Structure formats: structure tokens, C-alpha cells
Amino acid sequence: MPDLPLETPVLIGRKRDGEELSGDDLRRLVEGYMSGAVAEEQMSALLMAGVIRGFSDAEAVALTDALVASGDTVDLSRLRGPTVDKHSTGGVGDTTTLVVAPILAAAGLQLAKLSGRGLGHTGGTLDKLESIPGFRVALTPDEMRAQVERIGLAVAAATAELVPADKRLYALRDVTGTVPSRALIAASVMSKKIAGGASHVLLDVKTGDGAFMARREDASALAELCVRIGTARGRRTAALVTDMSQPLGDGIGNAIEVAVAVEVLRGERPGRLDELCRELAAAALVLTGTAAAVDAPAFVDELLGSGRALERFRRFVVAQGGDPAVADRPWEVLPRAPEIVEWRPGPGTVTAVRCRELGELAASLGAGRRRKEDDVDPAVGLEVLARVGDHVSPDVPVARVHARTRADAERALARLPTLVDIGEGQVAPVPLVLERVGLSGVPDLG
């Protein structure tokens, strides 16, 4: 049991009064919480005091260190080539990992990525990958390293031994209303990135209705803090602040999002997902020194256009036990919902989209979970085929509902007119990349 520097209530009182706690205080508090010396209600009080009073940048860095020290870390130092980790703060239709990771692996970078599952209105990379028949996400650290050495890419579930204090604190924050703290979010994100072992970290920080950070100024501040934490701990770190006021990709749902990602890799699905994947891949190439800023976009175009990124995706699927035919015939290989119904509300212009509620609607069809222990239906969800500013006609679907039953499909169809507004006149498209932090000289692609 750790020897706390002062009585825990004294430290809680200091935070309540707006004082800054030392790194040693925070480290011992986290150690005490994990050992049982600091009670759940005491940690809850400390978190609430910090959310109300605010944690400093120094406290965020110290808390990150304490979370990393609570468990194992991954050693990637023996891998050849630059190691990189790409992380998104989550949203709706966000399948960038399935596109960006093969692009970067094909470029010679190495990605040993630990991912999570979906909860609420946001999807999880592991759930999406598991919709591929046979795909296995439970890899040991040795299996991950061997696979990355062989093909440059592995995506797996984090073990219970990796940053366990973050898992406990996240669950506590979830039930005590202390999630919305920039410092706590940054420490949670960056502790996993640092423990994951990559020497370069690229963050995609979402903002808008479908993001955890709805206000752009909050997302920008989070991106800047994460970059400072990563840099302070010897990781070359950068971030893009990107729009999540509408679904990123056309698919919302596990198998549907995999199919859409494959079509992006095949050059068959232009749109915002394709645009952002190219932006993120170019940024990672610059961050790792693999390509100059002026050359990175053309390099990404070549990796996609030549089929090299698609072939790396195929090898990745095979390496983790999945059916490689998903790279050729995704809609045939992946699970399909029994009921697929189109919504054609036109004519008019899409004037607004309620992104979070679209994610929640897909989750209610069975594509997501309310509790971590819930199962997901890999086949169900939505395709949202129009974005703000698009003109739609009566003979073109704006959305498709993929449902398990006709009743579910009809219920979702009845909701769609309340979630996608169709009006008249011209509406400006919503910008996608809003800000770059820790990167300079990377040209816009759109």
C-alpha cells in the first residue's frame, strides 16, 4: 500500500480550493486508488474537484505518467522503420483506421495499433474488424510484433495489463459525471498512446454534434494539450481538428463501415471519408519524415491508385485470420441485413444533419451497445449517402436502412425525416479539416 504524501482528504481539499497538485501527489493517489488505499468516493471527489476547478497542463502530464506507470508498456524499439499510431477521438461513420493504416503500412511505416470497442453513438474499430468472417483481434504482444515486422500492420484489443488505471478511472468518470475534462481526456488518450510504444502519434480530434467535444474551441484546446503531452514524453505528436457535425463515411454500422472502407481503398467511394483518410495519411508521412510536405499527397494518391494500399489491407486481413475476399467483394463476404430499405425524400437540398442522433439510431438497430457487455449485430445500421449542401432528387436515395426486421426498418425510416433536413436553395458544404496542431506545410487536398 503506497505511502501517501498527505492524508487523501487534504489533497482533495487542495484541489477543491483550486490548488495545483504535484506530480508526486498524483502518482501516489493513482497508486493508492489501484491498491485500495484511496477509496472510490475519495477518487470521485478528487475528479469532481478537478473538473470544476480545472487541472493544469503540468497536472495533465503528471497524470498521464501515473496512468502509464500503472501497467505494462509495449516495446516497439526492435521494429525497423518509423513506428506510428493514429488515434481518433470518435464519432459517427469514422472508419479511417481501416483505410489509413494500410496506406501507411504500404509506405513502409509500422503500426502496432491497440483499439477499442464502440459504446453509445460511436463505433469501435474492433467491432468493425470482427464483422469480417474469421478475423481475430486477440493477439499477444509477441504476435503483434511478429505481424508488424512481416507486413507493417496489426490491430488488436488492448490487454488488461495495459494502462489499467485508465480503465478504472474511465469507468468511474462515466458514472460520476466527470468525463468532460480536457486534462482527464488528454491523459486518458495519451497514456494509451505512450504505453503503446509508437515513436510518432497522429491524433484526429473531432468536433461537432457527433463528437465528444462539440465546441471547436474545446477540441482545439484538447488537440494542443495532447500534442504537448506527447512531445513532453519524447513522442513526435501532431493533431488534426476535424468536423463531426455529420457522419464522416457513408456507412454507420460495423460490416457496412468495413464495406465502405474497402470501397475507399478501391477508389470506388469518393467523399469526406476518402478526403480525410488522404489528409491523415499525408500528415503521418510528414510527421515521420517519410515524405516532404509538398510530396506527401501525391505519394498517398500513388499508394491508393496503384492498389498497393488495398493489397496491404488484404495481407492484414489474412494475417489475422479473416477472409481475404472481403477486399474484392465486400458486400458479398460481410454479413448482410435481411431488410434493406431506401429513403428517397427529394427533391431539395440537405440543409442540416443530426449526426449524434443518426449514430444513436444505428445503435438502436443493433449496430452499437449501451453497456460494454452488450453484443452488437454486425449486419445492421445505416448508409447516409448525402451531406450538407448536396442537392437530392426523388430518384436518388438519401439513406438506406439495414435492419434485422421489417418493423425495425420501418421505425428507422420514420425517424430519418427528423434527422436529415431537406430544404431549398444553396447551402455551403461544411469544411472537413478545421485546424492542424504540430504540423506545418502540409497542403490541403480538398
**173, 228, 356, 400: which is the annotated catalytic residue?**
173
**27, 87, 145, 182: which is the annotated catalytic residue?**
87
Measured CA to CA, the distance from residue 269 to residue 234 in angstroms comes to 38
Beta-carbon neighbour count of residue 397 at 10 Å?
16
Q: What is the maximum span of the chain, computed from C-alpha positions, in angstroms?
A: 70
**181, 188, 191, 245: which is the annotated catalytic residue?**
188
Identify whether 24 is a catalytic site residue. no
Measured CA to CA, the distance from residue 45 to residue 296 in angstroms comes to 48
Identify whether 173 is a catalytic site residue. yes
Measured CA to CA, the distance from residue 242 to residue 275 in angstroms comes to 11
Q: Which helix (H) or strand (E) holds 200?
A: strand 200-207
Q: Are 117 and 129 in contact (CB under 8 A)?
A: no
Four-residue CA torsion sign, 195, 197, 198, 200:
positive
Bin 366: left if φ > 0, else alpha if -120 < ψ < 50, else beta.
Answer: left
Q: Are 162 and 192 in contact (CB under 8 A)?
A: yes
Measured CA to CA, the distance from residue 89 to residue 204 in angstroms comes to 6
Helix residue ranges per DSSP H, 346-392: 355-362
Buried b or exposed e, range 55-73, using 16+ CB within 10 angstroms: bebebbbbbbbbbbebbee
Collect all residues with Cβ–Cβ distance below 8 Å to 88 and sequence separation of at least 6. Answer: 94, 96, 97, 203, 204, 206
Helix residue ranges per DSSP H, 320-424: 330-333, 355-362, 406-419
Collect all residues with Cβ–Cβ distance below 8 Å to 342 and sequence separation of at least 6. Answer: 397, 399, 400, 401
Q: How far is CA 195 from the centre of its chain?
A: 17
Apex 387 CA angle, 381 and 415, nearest 5 = 45
Residue type, 193: K
* Enzyme catalytic residues: 87, 166, 173, 188, 192
